[in-house]
């Protein structure tokens, strides 16, 4: 039932040139944006040209998706089509050009979220995985920030009153997390990071994984070690 990552497609779609695409994934409230901001500052200080972006984007499709979260959710088919249209535009207009210029792109959510979230909503996970990996560039590294929903929901609840549907949400987030972890077991570029801990400690895990992995591979001799990354 599970679809293995197929080398041919990944190699054919791999990031061209000297650009580096690093994606951050994980369930809501896991702390992606703080980590991305810190990493972006460190890489910029080290002389890299860094582009920060996120999905859904602030473009037309992305705005429609965010509106639907407030005004009433779209059908699964419409939602899926909107995320794909948003991503296609994002890749064409922002990601591919930045990578072709040799820049470092730090991306908050990408196709792994479609597989996990729309998969959890009922779409066929294997089919989604095939479709996503077949039509969008495979990142150089994808960090899955992993934490139990009970913990992330606790973090979210600290800043606002607990929602009445919390149990339902917990169950949905458990399904989403399981699909993320499932993808991680199959996708070579995906690295699980334990997102539980002090912010400095989680950042150190991220910096260590990148310094010894993608940054050493794509920027050899540039000294992008954990110290340079401020970890």
Residues in contact with ligand TYD by CB under 6 A are 28, 55-56, 83, 109, 113-114, 117-118
Give the nearer residue to ligand TYD in terms of CB position, either 48 or 110. 110
Nearest to 86 by CA among 51, 118, 110: 110
Give the nearer residue to ligand TYD in terms of CB position, either 83 or 180. 83
Give the nearer residue to ligand TYD in terms of CB position, either 32 or 205. 32
Give the nearer residue to ligand TYD in terms of CB position, either 55 or 189. 55
Work out whether strand 104-108 and strand 190-194 pair parallel, antiparallel, or are unpaired. unpaired
CB of 65 to ligand TYD, least distance (A): 7
3-state secondary structure labels for all residues of 151-176 = HHHHHHHHHCCCCCCHHHHHHHHHHH
CB of 24 to ligand TYD, least distance (A): 9
Degrees, nearest 5: CA angle 110-149-172: 70
Task: Indicate the DSSP class of residue 109.
Answer: -
Nearest to 28 by CA among 221, 134, 160, 198: 160
CB of 100 to ligand TYD, least distance (A): 23
Number of H helices and E strands in the chain, helices first, is: 12, 5
SS3 142: strand
CB of 134 to ligand TYD, least distance (A): 16
Alpha-carbon span 172 to 156, nearest angstrom:
15
Alpha-carbon span 194 to 145, nearest angstrom:
6
CB of 54 to ligand TYD, least distance (A): 6
Give the nearer residue to ligand TYD in terms of CB position, either 43 or 116. 116
CB of 113 to ligand TYD, least distance (A): 4
Whose CB is nearest to ligand TYD? 117
Give the nearer residue to ligand TYD in terms of CB position, either 169 or 225. 169
């Amino acid at each position: 039932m599970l679809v293995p990552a197929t080398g041919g497609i990944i190699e054919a779609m791999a990031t061209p040139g000297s650009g580096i695409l690093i994606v951050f994934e994980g369930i809501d409230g896991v702390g992606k944006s703080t980590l991305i901001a810190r990493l972006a500052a460190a890489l910029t200080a080290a002389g890299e040209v860094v582009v920060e972006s996120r999905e859904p984007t602030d473009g037309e499709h992305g705005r429609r998706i965010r509106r639907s979260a407030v005004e009433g959710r779209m059908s699964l088919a419409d939602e899926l089509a909107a995320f794909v249209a948003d991503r296609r535009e994002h890749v064409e207009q922002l990601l591919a050009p930045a990578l072709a210029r040799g820049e470092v792109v730090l991306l908050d959510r990408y196709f792994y979220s479609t597989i996990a979230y729309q998969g959890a909503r009922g779409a066929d996970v294997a089919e989604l995985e095939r479709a996503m990996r077949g039509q969008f560039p495979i990142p150089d590294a994808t960090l899955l920030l992993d934490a139990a929903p009970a913990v992330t929901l606790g973090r979210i609840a600290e800043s606002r009153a607990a929602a009445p549907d919390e149990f339902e949400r917990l169950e949905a987030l458990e399904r989403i997390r399981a699909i993320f972890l499932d993808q991680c077991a199959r996708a070579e570029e995906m690295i699980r990071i334990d997102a539980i801990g002090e912010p400095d400690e989680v950042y150190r895990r991220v910096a260590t994984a990148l310094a010894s992995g993608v940054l050493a591979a794509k920027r050899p001799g540039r000294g992008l070690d954990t110290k340079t990354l401020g970890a």
